[in-house]
Amino acid sequence: MGRARWAVWLGVALIGCDDGGAGAPADGADAGVGGCNLPALVAQCPLGTSPAAGEQAEARCAEAVGGLTRDGQDAVSGQCQGAEGCRVLCQFAVPCACGVESVTSDGVICASCEGAAACGNGRCEGGEDPVNCPIDCGPECEGDERRCDGTALEECNLQGRWDRLPCPAGEICVVEGGAHCDRDPSVIVGGDAGVGDGGGGPVVEDRIIRGDGTWPAVVAAAGGLSPAATYRSFNATIWLDDRSNVQRPTNFARAMSEVGRCLAFIPGPGDSIECLGPNGSFRATADGQILPADQGITFDIEEFCANYDTCQRGAIDDCAAFVEMQRAVQGDTRVNCWAEALPERCIVLAGIGCEERWRTPYPEDTVFIGSGFFGTPTRLFGIANGQREGLMVDRGARTQAVMDAVGELSLRLIAVSADERTVAYTAMAQRDEAVVVWHPDAGDRVALLPVSGGSTNRFALGPDGQVLAVLRQNTGDPAVDNQLALYNIAEEKRIYSIVPTEGDSFGGGGPVVAFSPDGVLLALLVQPRQRIEIWDVVARVKRHTLEGDGMSPVLGFTFSPDGRYLLAHEGSVNGPLNVWSMANGRRVQTIPAGLGAQGRLAFDTDGAHGVIGGVGPGAASFTLIQP
């Protein structure tokens, strides 16, 4: 889909339109005539609001700030849709006295007025903002500055204001080496103020069990791009049949059949979606059009010419020139399909579906296993061939690397570092388990952290592959069981473990642990009252607890490419993506997700586009996001 068309789709799909978006009059037409589609704008009003149009709506919307109108008591009273000359005012049933927390198609959620006070009290709260109360809400710091206010730690948020980050019990804010929480020298816990463990078994210090490993000098991954304020989103549904009584499969369904179903979806070049399957991959636009591959000629031209001569009963004077002409007219994909089909029955044109599909060639006779598969725009990693091989395919150069399993171990789960240079697998043989670490570029591998009788539930690699975070149970080691254990891979030693609070546990149905791109933060899912803890794993301090409405269950989460946000898929299969700020632990945006959207949220290599999607009965559904 082209950029211009993408913009139009976004204008219709998003709640609220910028000037010139969907619904704007065409060629100066009056509201309600020609290009002004008032019914479409009315349909965008959230549930529970009353739409109004005409001169009164135009006048109110002309004074709106950020698309929101206010009443005489400065309460937010409505939201404007459309552009000048063609507007609909979605009037709130109850004005929001202290501002709006979120406006979605499902309704309006007002911001809490608890603790709200008059402008000038030194706190930016309630309905205050930098416009109506600059003395409280104007910027007073920059970037990610930190400072100590007595014994408390403060950090500069995205609005340029100081947020207080209370230090854990037994720690105070210190300024040496940059403001941070550190052990209070007046308090001795577990022995001699941090030197030694005091003996007598694991020593828990504010939910930390110390180990013998050291924290390595982590190399941060590339930052990518995150938006300055909010993401834009677009929901797409691609049908798998033609919606007729015959229910003929669409080209998208045919392409899925060619690659053996979609194990994952990632953003493709431009605005495309890429389906990664066990036997290959293909790209499509958001409306289901299959995009051909620019893959070059994959057949032997001399052999092709001989077969063509036989079928046509006559020689071609310059066969190579003939092939080039066909490539120019028909494209590489169809010519390759044509050459593949030609020897069998002298078929001149490709078979049904061949010209629509695009396959990334995997190593011969290789089939990836769905539960052990990880794809990015540049590489594919996975468990293949009966859980006996680890496989990496470099998609640009179409090279491959294969790792044979160690001994009798069968590979189970997979984790890939952000720099794509380290792959880790859990591997089992009856009651024995180990972690196999593989460096495909260097060709080396090692089996480490062996246990007997235990099992790994979830694990993740740090951005440069030096640190491994593991959730294990039934190992018999109280410093590891049901804790999140962090290991220095080079040392093969546990650095420390994080202990859940009493009555809680770590884990869940989807991805439950993730590192930020710089390797400093770690997101961890907590059960049974689902919430996400954000830990500074270098300082060994919990920074935030992300907890809000509709967070049961959490299906998965991903850091934004530069680590400024955590995007969490919450609620249900078609629940929203909530965007949480890592500066202050607050929810800054809720993105409605498409029906059936599920799986891993993936960004492209530049961090400019993201996609989360899945295939359900009769349709594939996606939510595409971009800054």
Extract the tokens encoding 214: 């050291």
pLDDT in tens, 70-107: 887 778 899 998 888 888 999 998 888 878 888 888 88
Strand 577-581 relative to strand 565-570: parallel, antiparallel, unpaired? antiparallel
* 482 φψ region: left (φ > 0), alpha (ψ -120 to 50), beta (else): left
As a whole number of angstroms, the distance between CA 233 and CA 215 comes to 38
Tell me, what's the pLDDT at 423? 95
As a whole number of angstroms, the distance between CA 622 and CA 615 comes to 9
Specify if 531 maps to a domain.
no
Tell me, what's the pLDDT at 417? 93
User: For 612, which DSSP code?
Assistant: E
573-594: average pLDDT: 83
Count H helices, E strands: the chain?
Answer: 8, 42
Number of structural domains in the chain: 2
3-state secondary structure of 230: coil
**Of all residues in the chain, what percent carry a pLDDT higher than 70?**
79
409-423: average pLDDT: 91
What is the per-residue burial (b if ≥16 Cβ within 10 Å, else e) of 506-542?
A: bbbeebbbbbbbbbbbbbbbbbeebbbbbbbbebbbb
Task: Please indicate whether residue 224 or residue 373 has the higher confidence score (pLDDT).
Answer: 373
Task: Please indicate whether residue 308 or residue 550 has the higher confidence score (pLDDT).
Answer: 308
As a whole number of angstroms, the distance between CA 135 and CA 144 comes to 21
379-386: average pLDDT: 86
Q: What is the mean pLDDT of the chain?
A: 78
Of the residues 54, 79, 110, the one at which a domain ends: 110
Of the listed ranges 113-127, 216-230, 418-432, 612-626, the one predicted with least confidence: 113-127
Task: Please indicate whether residue 92 or residue 329 has the higher confidence score (pLDDT).
Answer: 92
pLDDT in tens, 505-553: 998 766 789 999 999 999 999 988 788 999 999 999 999 999 866 555 7
Answer yes or no: is pLDDT of 495 > 90. Answer: yes
Contact 293, 398 (CB under 8 A): no
Contacts of 202 (CB under 8 A, 6+ apart): 209, 478, 479
Specify if 50 maps to a domain.
yes
463-470: average pLDDT: 94
- pTM value is 0.62
Extract the tokens encoding 402: 């294969």
pLDDT in tens, 533-545: 999 999 999 999 9
The label of the residue with tokens 């049901």 reads 482
Specify if 8 maps to a domain.
yes
**Of all residues in the chain, what percent carry a pLDDT higher than 90?**
16
Contact 554, 532 (CB under 8 A): yes
As a whole number of angstroms, the distance between CA 560 and CA 223 comes to 9
Specify if 87 maps to a domain.
yes
Q: How confident is the model at residue 123 (pLDDT cuts 50, 70, 90)?
A: low
Tell me, what's the pLDDT at 6? 26
Task: Please indicate whether residue 348 or residue 301 has the higher confidence score (pLDDT).
Answer: 301
Of the residues 73, 92, 110, the one at which a domain ends: 110
Calculate the CA 545 to chain-centre distance: 19
pLDDT in tens, 200-248: 345 566 799 999 999 998 887 766 667 666 778 888 889 999 888 888 8
Specify if 98 maps to a domain.
yes
The label of the residue with tokens 């854990």 reads 168
Q: What angle do CA 181, 182, 187 make, to 5 degrees?
A: 125
Specify if 59 maps to a domain.
yes
Tell me, what's the pLDDT at 351? 53
* Omega cis (within 30) before 25: no
Answer yes or no: is pLDDT of 464 > 90. Answer: yes
Tell me, what's the pLDDT at 170? 59
Domain ranges, residue 50 = 3-110
Contact 606, 268 (CB under 8 A): no
Specify if 602 maps to a domain.
no
Residue 164: closest CA among 186, 187, 146, 137:
146
pLDDT in tens, 244-274: 888 888 888 888 888 888 888 988 887 789 8
Specify if 161 maps to a domain.
no
Extract the tokens encoding 178: 């940059």
Extract the tokens encoding 276: 């990664």
Residue 208: closest CA among 461, 536, 440:
536
165-181: average pLDDT: 78
Tell me, what's the pLDDT at 203? 54
Of the residues 64, 87, 110, the one at which a domain ends: 110
The label of the residue with tokens 């069968």 reads 410
Percent helix, strand, coil in the chain (nearest 5)? 10, 35, 50
Tell me, what's the pLDDT at 223? 67
3-state secondary structure of 157: coil
